[in-house]
């Protein structure tokens, strides 16, 4: 199944209000886009054009140091 079709089918089944997904989708794309996930990122941004304004937040979060030590 083409990523665009898969996203559309799942959104119709999951959510009657896709507008509430703009922020998390944009952040996900910004954080995880690259290599093998790029096709899904493109499909998500096509399905949620308003999510593009949140991609930069995901990019910034990806650059943070993650850890459980509190440092």
pLDDT digits (tens, 9 = 90+) for 25-63: 999 999 998 888 899 999 999 889 999 999 999 999 988
Q: What is the pLDDT of residue 20?
A: 83
Say what the pTM is: 0.68
Output the six-digit token pair for 64. 């943070």
Count of alpha carbons within 13 angstroms of residue 48, beta-carbon side: 25
pLDDT of res. 50? 94
pLDDT band at 4 (very low <50, low <70, confident <90, very high): low
| pLDDT at position 28 | 93
At 1 the pLDDT is 60
């Amino acid at each position: 199944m083409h990523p665009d079709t898969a996203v559309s089918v799942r959104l119709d089944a999951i959510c009657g209000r896709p507008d509430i997904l703009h922020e998390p989708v944009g952040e996900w794309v910004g954080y995880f886009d690259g290599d093998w996930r790029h096709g899904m990122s493109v499909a998500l941004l096509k399905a949620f054009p308003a999510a593009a304004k949140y991609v930069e937040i995901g990019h910034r979060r990806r650059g943070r140091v993650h850890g459980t030590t509190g440092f």
